[in-house]
Structure 1
Amino acid sequence: MLEQEAPAVTEEVFGTTPDGTQVDAYTLSNASGVRARILTYGGILQSLETPDRDGVSANIVLGFDNLADYLERNPYFGTITGRYANRIANGTFTLDGVTYRLTQNRPPLHLHGGAAGFSHRIWSARVVGDAADGATASGDVAVELTYTSPDGEEGYPGTLEATVRYTLTADGELRIDYHATTDAPTIVNLTNHAYFNLAGEGSGSVLGHLVRLNAEHYTPTDEQAIPTGEIAPVEGTPLDFREPMEIGTRIRDPHPQLVIAGGYDHNYVVARSGDGLELAARVTEPGSGRVLSVHTTEPGIQFYTGNQLTTPLVGTGGRQYRQGDGLCLETQHFPDSPNHRQFPSTVLRPGEVFRSSTLFAFSAS
C-alpha cells in the first residue's frame, strides 16, 4: 500500500561501464506516492512507481535492472534521445547552404541522434533544491543532468550544451525541462523515450489501454517511416484518437500507415491554443484505474505501440517483454523537420536558447 515519504533525492551506484566509468542512480520521492529513478547513463528514466485506485504502487515504465542490458540491448527504454530525436532521411540535412552528413545508424536513416547519441552518453548530475537531499519548501524534488556534445559528434555542427532537469512535484507529477545552447548553427530535438504500461511493467500487452490524443492531424510517412511532408487529418482514419479508444480496437486495420509501421508509430500534431504546456495525450488503464496525462510545450507527440519489441528482453520485474507490452508518448518537434520547410523549425543558433517542457501527471479512477 501507499506509504508517505519525506521529500528527498537519494543517490547510489548503479554500475560501471567497461571503461571503468561509474553510472549513478538518483531516486526522487516525496509524499505524493510517486517515485522516479534516473540514471546518469543516457539520462534514463529507469523506473516510475505510481499508485493504482487502491493505493497499490507499481513501476509503470519498461526497463532493466542492470547496466549491461542498457549498454548492449536497450531499445531506448526511458532514454533522453538527441541531439535529434526520431528520424532524419538519409542522415543528411542542409543548413545555411552547407550539407551535413550524420551517422546512418539505421541505414539509410539517422535515428535518435545516431549510433552514440545522447541515449548512450554519461551525463553529469546534481541534486537541485534548498537542501542537500533536494527537498524544497514546496515538497518538489529534482535532479539536473548536463552533457556537452562536441562539434562534429555524430556529424552535427556546433558544440551543444544540454541540460535536462527531472522534477517530481509535490502533486506527484514528473516534469522534464530541456535547455540547450550552441556555439554554431545546428539542429536540436530532444525528448524522453519512456515505454509506459499503466498496469505495471511486465504485466503484458497495452492493447487494452484507452488513449486520447489531442490532435486533429498527423504526419504520414513513407515506407521508411520518414514523413512525406503532408500534414493530414486523422478524421476518417484508424489514427483518430480524438475520443478515448482502446489501442487494440483498430491496430490491425489494413490502413497503409498501420501496415507500414506494424501498428502505431506516428507523429501527431498537438492541437495547441498557445505556447505553454498543452494537454497532448491521456491514457487510462481500466484494470488498475491508473491515468496518465501528458502536457507539453512541443508541437508534436510520437505515439508508438512497441511494435519492434520482438527481441527477447527481461525487464526489471524479471518478466519477459514482448511486442506491444509498452507504449511511448514522445513529445517532440516533427521527424525529419530539417528537410521539410513547412514543419516547425528545429534550428538553434548562437545566442538563442532551446527550451522545452513536458509534464506527466498521474491519477487513478
Structure 2
Amino acid sequence: MKIIELKSDAMRVTISDFGARILDWQVQVNGSYRPIVLKYNNEADYLSDQFYLGAIVGPFANRIKDGRVDIRESQVLHLDRNEGLNHLHGGENAIDKQVWQITRYSQSAVRLELVIQDMWNGYPGALELTAEYTLENNRLRLRVSAFSEKDTVAGMSAHSYFNLNGVNSHRGGLEQWLTTCATHVNINDSNGLPIRPPQSVKHTQYDYSKRHLLTQQKGSELLDNNFIFSNSCSKAILESFDRYLKLEVSSDYPAMQLYTGGHLSEPFCKNQSVCIEPQFGPDMPNCKNHPLGLLPANTLQQHIIDYTITTE
C-alpha cells in the first residue's frame, strides 16, 4: 500500500493507492491535530474492509435494483449483485478494493488512475477512472472522472465517515449538528431502494434546513437516505457538538446520501461517524423521467466534491 500525505497550514490528509481512499484526516484545533475520519488501526484491515472506509466507490455509487440497467431497448446491463439482488457501489471487489496508480503528486495534490476491463462486474467498455485530491488551506477538493469506449454507467463518490468531535472522542457521530439545503428525500423500501417520486422534506423528520443535533432528530440513528437538491444549492454542513469545528460538503452532483453509520460493527461502534456522499442517487440510471449516470461511449464524465473546514 502506497501512501501520500497532503499538507496545509490548516490540516493534513493521508491518501492511499488502495481504493484511492482517505486513510486519515487531521485538522488543527487549538494548536494540536484532531483526527476527524474513521479509520483502521492496521493497514492490513483495509484489505477486508466491509464499510468502504474513506474509499472512492463505484464505478456507480449506491444501489441499482436487481443489478439491471436498461441503457436502451436493445441493450440491458446485468451488473454484479453483491447486496442480495442489488448492485451496490460497483459490486464485489469493486474499485474500493483495487490498487490505483499514483500518476502525479506533490505536497498539496495527488492524482490516481484506474482502468477496469471490459465487462468487469458487468460494466461495458474499458473504463478509465481518475480521482484527484487537491488541498488548499482549509479546503480539500476531490475531482473524479470516468471515460469509456462503450456506453455504460458511472458516477463515483467518496465514502469517508466523519466525526468532527474527534474519532477518538467520547462523543459519537450523532452528537454532531447537521444542516442541508436539500428540498426532497428518497424514502427507502425494505431493500434500501427509493420509493418514487421523492418526498418533500418539509415538515418531516428529514428536514435539516435548520441546524439539528442528530441525537434530537427522530430516526437519525437509522438515517441512510438520499437527499436531493435544487439547482441553486447542493451542500450539507456538519458541525462538532460544541459547534467549534464545521465541515461544509458541496458538489456539482444533484444529490447526497446521508448515512449515520447505523450498520457499523466491530471494530467500530454503531453511529460512531457520519457519511456524506455526493452522487447521482440510488437506481438513477433507471429513473424513467430523468435518468442520471448513463455514460455514452467516448464521453468524459467529471464531478467535483469540495470539503471545506472552518472554526468558530
Q: Same fold (TM over 0.5)?
A: yes
Render the CA deviation track for 1:323-363: whole Å, top value 9, x for unaligned. Answer: 00010000000110122123452111123110100100001
Note if 1:228 corresponds to 2:205. no
Is contact 2:150-2:298 (8 Å) kept?
no
Q: Residue in 2 aligned with 1:347? A: 294
Q: Residue in 1 aligned with 2:222? A: 263
Is contact 1:158-1:185 (8 Å) kept?
yes
Greater than 3 Å deviation, 4+ residue runs? none
Percent same amino acid among aligned pairs? Answer: 27
* Aligned residue runs from structure 1 range 107-118, under 5 A: 107-118=84-95
SS at match of 1:62: coil
Q: Residue in 2 aligned with 1:298? A: 253
Higher mean C-alpha displacement, 337-346 vs 84-93: 337-346
Is contact 2:114-2:129 (8 Å) kept?
yes
Which of 74, 81, 95 is matched with 1:104 structurally?
Answer: 81
Which of 34, 38, 53 is matched with 1:58 structurally?
Answer: 34
Give the partner amino acid of 2:271: G
Render the CA deviation track for 1:83-140: whole Å, top value 9, x for unaligned. Answer: 1111011111111222221111111111110001111100000334xxxxx25xxxxx
Q: Distance in 2 between matches of 1:251 and 1:302?
A: 18
Alpha-carbon distance, 1:67 to partner: 2.7
Give the partner amino acid of 1:178: V
Structure 2 gaps of 5+ residues are none
Render the CA deviation track for 1:255-276: whole Å, top value 9, x for unaligned. Answer: xxx7xxx611111112222xxx
Structure 1 gaps of 5+ residues are 1-22, 129-133, 136-140, 253-257, 314-320
Is contact 1:60-1:201 (8 Å) kept?
yes
Give the TM-score, by structure 2 length. Answer: 0.95
Higher Rg of the two aligned structures: 1
Note if 1:289 corresponds to 2:244. yes
Alpha-carbon distance, 1:150 to partner: 1.0
Is contact 2:58-2:95 (8 Å) kept?
yes
Q: Distance in 2 between matches of 1:296 and 1:163?
A: 17
Q: Distance in 1 between matches of 2:126 and 2:196?
A: 29
Q: Distance in 2 between matches of 1:233 and 1:39?
A: 39
Q: Would the alpha carbon gap of residues 238 and 198 (structure 1) be closer, same or farther in structure 2, given more than 3 Å must change? A: same
SS at match of 2:3: strand
SS at match of 2:138: coil
Which of 168, 189, 193 is matched with 2:159 structurally?
Answer: 193
Q: Distance in 2 between matches of 1:74 and 1:46?
A: 15
Render the CA deviation track for 1:204-224: whole Å, top value 9, x for unaligned. Answer: 412121100111111222111
Q: Distance in 2 between matches of 1:344 and 1:249?
A: 35
Measured on the aligned residues, the alpha-carbon RMSD in Å equals 1.5
* Aligned residue runs from structure 1 range 306-317, under 5 A: 306-309=261-264, 311-313=265-267
SS at match of 1:69: helix
Is contact 1:28-1:36 (8 Å) kept?
yes
Q: Distance in 1 between matches of 2:234 and 2:31?
A: 25
Q: Residue in 1 aligned with 2:62? A: 86
Give the partner amino acid of 2:262: N
Q: Distance in 2 between matches of 1:323 and 1:88?
A: 25
Give the TM-score, by structure 1 length. Answer: 0.82
